[in-house]
Amino acid sequence: MKAKLKGWKEMPIGGVIDEPGNAKAYKTGGWRSMRPILDKEKCINCYFCWFYCPDNSVIVENGDVKGVNLDYCKGCGICAAVCPKNAITMEEETKFLKE
Amino acid sequence: MGKKVALTGDMAAAEAMRQINPDVVAAYPITPQTEIMMNFAQFKANGLVDTELVRVESEHSAMSACVGSAAGGARTMTATSANGLALMHEVVYIAASSRLPIVMAVVNRALSAPINIHCDHSDTMAERDSGWIQIFSQNPQEVYDHIFLALKLAEHHDVLLPVMVNQDGFITSHGVEPVELLDDEVIKNFIGEYIPKYPLLDIDNPITYGPLDLYDYYFEHKRQQVEAMENALKVYPKVAEELSKITNRKYPMIEKYNIEDADYIIVTMSSAAGTTKYVVEKLREQGKKVGLLKIRLFRPFPIDEVAQTLAGKKAVAVLDRSASFGSFPPLAEEIKNSCYDLENRPPIYSFIFGLGGRDLLPAHIEYVFQGLMENKFDTKRIEYLGVRE
């Protein structure tokens, strides 16, 4: 899930960014220390998590809540807090370190 | 060959800058600025250079303007001294980390307090770890030559680091000596056209300088800087050789003066090397096996060459013109570090001299050599030359 980071031999020198607008490619999910885990058994597709997520990271496909885009989710836990069915639990990110 | 004229170190630096005719020079025009900028401003006023001369409100701004100009893709130079360099400090690091090949003439003078305007190396040594290449000049001729060497080294695409060309305040900066100048055309051909790697003004290839760089990439950028310094160590001899072809003078990273058969060595830099040479000559006439190791290139430090030169010597004295309060002074640390892995490591003694412009006399040098020969110093203690108890 985590983007492959370049080594020092592959990068432009001097901290120069040599392609404009590449902030788009920056995966801010790396900041996360807690990860939301969705239990689909409990989920009723009320979309509260989708509405409240400050990073537009809740994935909804054909009306069905599918999970969270970990490239951008920063683990704020709002989705878990607003879920009326307690279908989202926050787990320590260190548990998934091997991914 | 060019003509020989009488110049101070300041005038020699300004003359070299005139011949380089940089695109931009940004400098603070008031004290602690030196006559380097005074002379260069005169050249500008007289129409002898095309340089955009930016007079800023502080040394911090001077280096900031240099960073902007160099990032833009302009060949950029400046000059400073003492507290001026200290005020630049923050941006000195930014220039090196952004890999901008700025060349700066530095007249080494003491840092306050108390206020002192005379020679010592505390200003440049405070920038030791900034990522700049540091070259030290013994006399006005070396100041003049080193500036061309510095420019060519800085702009080499395997290096791309800024360079400080150091000279001793007053002793060199205001001392008049014969300097052989090269023809403008010869210099023009030597330095060539500057081809910046990432010019900000190349609007067809837009880039960003100085972005946020956190724990995920900052370390890699620092690793690149380490590599650039190692490259500088490889590129330096080639550039020095090229310069030698037009000047007939040599620029080894370390100068070995009567070293081969010497048992007792003094290691020092800048004008003190001149005084030491004089004493070495004198003691040689008396049959004493003494020699001088002059460090020209301090960053990157030529560790291997120094170790090879000092291996097996009976005793080595390192003379520093700055202190590192709470430990051994910078040059002594370098020499000890270089020699640590030697099996036949010589004893290395540390001396501090000349702070705030205190004269280093031939008698001091003789005292050091005599003490080395009589084995009367202690490697664990710093000795002070010319200080009153």
Provide the H-helix boundaries in chain B.
9-20, 35-45, 59-72, 82-97, 122-125, 140-155, 184-191, 218-247, 271-285, 303-310, 330-339, 362-373
Which of B209, B220, B222, B225 should be substituted to probe chain A, the one whose Cβ sees the most A Cβ atoms within 10 Å? B220
Across chain A, which distance is largest between two alpha carbons, in Å? 51
d(CA B60, CA B109): 18
Q: What averages of pLDDT result for each successive group of 10 residues across chain B (389 residues)?
A: 92 98 96 95 98 97 98 98 98 98 98 96 98 98 98 98 98 98 97 96 94 92 98 98 98 98 98 98 98 98 98 98 98 98 98 98 98 98 97
Q: Do A13 and B224 touch (CB under 8 A)?
A: yes
Distance from CA of B97 to the nearest CA of A (A): 6
Q: Among B209, B216, B220, select the one facing A16 at the smallest CB separation.
A: B209
Of residues A96 and B283, the one with the higher pLDDT is: B283
Q: What local confidence, expressed as pLDDT, does residue B1 receive?
A: 60
Which structure tokens are listed for B112? 């306050």
d(CA B139, CA B13): 11
Which structure tokens are listed for B152? 């060519």
Peptide bond into B237 cis (omega under 30): no
CATH topology of domain B4-247: Rossmann fold (3.40.50)
Q: What local confidence, expressed as pLDDT, does residue A9 receive?
A: 97
d(CA B335, CA B342): 12
Is B178 in contact with B6 (CB distance < 8 Å)? yes
Task: Give, for B348, the enclosing helix (H) or strand (E).
Answer: strand B348-353
Give the count of alpha carbons within 13 A of A37, CB side only: 8
Chain B positions in Cβ-Cβ contact with residue A5 (cut-off 8 Å): 216-217
Residues 6+ apart with CB under 8 A from A68: A35, A36, A38, A57, A58, A59, A79
Q: What domains are there in chain A, each with its CATH number?
A: 38-99 (3.30.70.20)
The pairing of strands B4-7 and A58-61 is unpaired
d(CA A43, CA B101): 59
CB atoms within 10 A of CB A6: 12
Chain A positions in Cβ-Cβ contact with residue B100 (cut-off 8 Å): 14
Q: How far is CA B319 from the centre of its chain?
A: 16
The architecture that CATH gives domain B254-385 is 3-Layer(aba) Sandwich (3.40)
Residues A8-57 pLDDT 10s: 999 999 999 998 888 888 888 888 999 999 999 999 999 999 999 999 99
Which chain B residue has the Cα nearest residue A28?
B216
Is A49 in contact with A82 (CB distance < 8 Å)? yes
SS3 of residue B178 by DSSP: strand
Chain A positions in Cβ-Cβ contact with residue B203 (cut-off 8 Å): none
Residues 6+ apart with CB under 8 A from B185: none
- Torsion-angle region of residue A62: left (phi > 0), alpha (psi -120 to 50) or beta? left
Chain B positions in Cβ-Cβ contact with residue A30 (cut-off 8 Å): 216
Give the residue from A35, A33, A59, A49 showing the smallest Cα distance to A85.
Answer: A49
Give the residue from B224, B199, B213 showing the smallest Cα distance to B96.
Answer: B224
Chain A positions in Cβ-Cβ contact with residue B217 (cut-off 8 Å): 5-6, 11, 15
Interface contact A24, partner B, CB < 8 A:
no
Kindly write down the DSSP assignment for every residue of A21-77, as one continuous string.
Answer: TGGGG--GGGG-SEEEEE-TTT-----HHHHH-TT--EEEETTEEEEE-TTT-----
Q: What local confidence, expressed as pLDDT, does residue B365 receive?
A: 98
d(CA B66, CA B131): 16
Amino acid at B359: D
Q: Do A13 and B211 touch (CB under 8 A)?
A: no
Q: What local confidence, expressed as pLDDT, does residue A1 receive?
A: 40
- Torsion-angle region of residue A33: left (phi > 0), alpha (psi -120 to 50) or beta? alpha
- What are the CA-CA distances from residue B74 to residues B70, B100, B155, B374 (Å)? 5, 10, 11, 56
Give the residue from B142, B34, B129, B150 showing the smallest Cα distance to B83.
Answer: B34
Q: Among A18, A20, A30, select the one facing B216 at the smallest CB separation.
A: A30
Name the packing angle between helices B218-247 and B82-97 (round to 10°).
110
Which structure tokens are listed for B84? 């001026």
Is B130 in contact with B102 (CB distance < 8 Å)? no
Give the residue from A83, A67, A93, A86 showing the smallest Cα distance to A2.
Answer: A93
Instruction: Please identify among residues 108-127 of chain B the ones whose CB lies closer than 8 Å to any CB of chain A.
Output: none
- Ordered by start, the domain boundaries in chain B are 4-247, 254-385
